[in-house]
Chains A and B, each alone.
Chain A
């Protein structure tokens, strides 16, 4: 087994263990809140906060968690951070809180967070668990931004890029740029059907590329097909 490194763990979380396309977990928020770039960003930041907190605490107390009741303990730890992020959003970013709706409390039952606590943080040291959380969060962020951008672009004809900033002491998502394409907006991309279509097409593309890569590999090794 290769030696683990901090950066290596982060990169693994982004590509090899990408939460949505490889592990196929955490689909509900991925599809529900990605109607726009801004919502995707807000959701993945809330998610990153919860995952970092839960991975850190689970790995910190992993030696004293009895294995029989570990799932309820994970749920309690995760729920603490979810409640925190829920209250923070409600207090400081009310528009985002409205847009995400019940998907903020539903991070509790997000399979990625529980999955990482169970499969990774429960078995690895604190420092690597943090690296894992950072990697998975970046991977999740990229997927949410990708799907959000595609849906917003084809659904409304333009993408409104936003950034989390504090302007004059008021935190919020402020626009930093805009890209538009000269097409007739297809409203269906904003509807649920568009969400399923986007993720199915992306997965199909990834599968085709993966198949082609495997074929090349086999050809290089001289295997008769």
Chain B
């Protein structure tokens, strides 16, 4: 008999969504995916492409890894293989998507394809699947969680890119680059932590 947390979400979904998007935002509060954060928020265009790619891959990896963990690893007591298994699934899925997009949609490949190889080593993607397993989410809830985590990642990326573009236009030299990105992140972290600390959900 294989035991799983079940398919349909029994958890309350609204707190999960708000948690993933704001109070436990992947970039600002959990510190996952920061390398892409400082590296790819130099312009709105790149951060848009990266956000779309990350949201897509996060959701798909949640869909793929949940059955693998509960039907393959857990019944056979191979839980210590979860990291290696998840990273292989993510890396090969990303490779597959890259091939498919390259073959069928050159336009999409040009805007999204260059970010795909970066995603296999993005800790936000591995982080979301590890957290799904750690929190014992149902299948539905894990997909919702992954998708909203992707949305949370996206708004922070886009906001930071906008702030950095503004800083460059104003000629604030010393604060452009990494340092500006970190100061912007500090402000946004203060906002999400203190605002949602006051308003109880």
Contacts and interface: CB of A to CB of B under 8 A. Distances in A.
Partners in one complex: yes
A102 B134 contact: yes
A24 B38 CA distance: 9
Given A28-B31, A75-B87, A114 B121 contact: yes
Interface residues of B, number: 39
A196 interface: yes
B73 interface: no
Contacts of B35: 24-28, 111
Contacts of A208: 174
A193 B193 contact: yes
A82 B34 CA distance: 20
29 contacts: A24-B39, A24-B178, A27-B34, A28-B33, A28-B34, A28-B35, A32-B30, A32-B31, A71-B120, A79-B87, A80-B84, A86-B80, A102-B131, A106-B130, A108-B84, A109-B121, A109-B123, A110-B123, A191-B193, A192-B29, A193-B190, A196-B183, A196-B185, A197-B183, A199-B182, A200-B183, A203-B179, A207-B174, A208-B174
A203 B126 contact: no
Given A102-B131, A192-B193, A203-B178, A31 B31 contact: yes
Given A76-B84, A203-B178, A109 B186 contact: no
A207 B179 contact: yes
Contacts of A188: 190
Contacts of A192: 28-29, 31, 189, 193
B22 to A, nearest CB: 12
A83 interface: yes
Contacts of A207: 174, 179
Nearest to B134: A102
Question: Chain B binding site: helix, strand, loop or mixed by DSSP?
Answer: helix
A72 to B, nearest CB: 6
A19 B94 CA distance: 27
Interface of A: 24-29, 31-32, 71-72, 75-76, 79-80, 82-83, 86-87, 102, 105-106, 108-111, 114, 188, 191-193, 195-197, 199-200, 203-204, 207-208
A109 B31 contact: no
Contacts of A106: 32, 123, 126-127, 130
Contacts of B193: 191-193
A72 B88 CA distance: 8
B101 interface: no
Given A32-B31, A109-B87, A193 B80 contact: no
